[in-house]
């Protein structure tokens, strides 16, 4: 009786353990937009769900020393990006100045 249970349960347990271990060491996606130069961005007006598009810009999603900004009606505004690249999602991904660009 015990040997029948071990013949069924032990391989199943080993399989579950192997799958769990493989998933535990797989890097997770961070949900961030693709790290690439972008030529359009949004500023929050007044929040991430109400954004105004501005282009052309020279910014990137890669983290850099300076945050990408622009001047709107004499007020400096921080620029953001969306997860989908359009206004269907909130603009809440921080944009940074490109090393070779002026960041607007």
47-83 per-position pLDDT tens digit: 778 888 888 888 888 888 899 998 888 989 999 988 8
pLDDT above 60: residue 92? yes
Q: What is the sign of the dihedral through the CA atoms of 93, 98, 99 and 103? A: negative
Q: What is the mean pLDDT of residues 20-39?
A: 64
pLDDT above 50: residue 97? yes
Pair 104, 70: CB distance under 8 Å: yes
0.85 exceeded by the pTM?
no
Enumerate the H helices of 1-104 as residue ranges: 2-24
Nearest-angstrom CA–CA distance, 91 and 52: 9
Q: Taking the CB of residue 1, how many other CB atoms lie within 10 A of it?
A: 5
Q: What is the mean pLDDT of residues 7-21?
A: 81
Confidence bin at 33 (pLDDT 50/70/90): very low
DSSP state of 67: B
């Amino acid at each position: 009786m015990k040997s029948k249970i071990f013949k069924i349960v032990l391989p199943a347990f080993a399989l579950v353990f192997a799958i769990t271990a493989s998933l535990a060491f797989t890097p997770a996606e961070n949900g961030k937009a693709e790290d690439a130069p972008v030529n359009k961005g949004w500023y929050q007006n007044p929040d991430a769900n109400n954004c105004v598009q501005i282009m052309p810009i020279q910014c990137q999603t890669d983290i850099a020393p300076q945050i990408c900004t622009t001047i709107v009606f004499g007020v400096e505004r921080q620029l953001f990006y969306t997860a989908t690249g359009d206004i269907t999602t909130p603009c809440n991904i921080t944009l940074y100045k490109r090393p070779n660009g002026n960041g607007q």
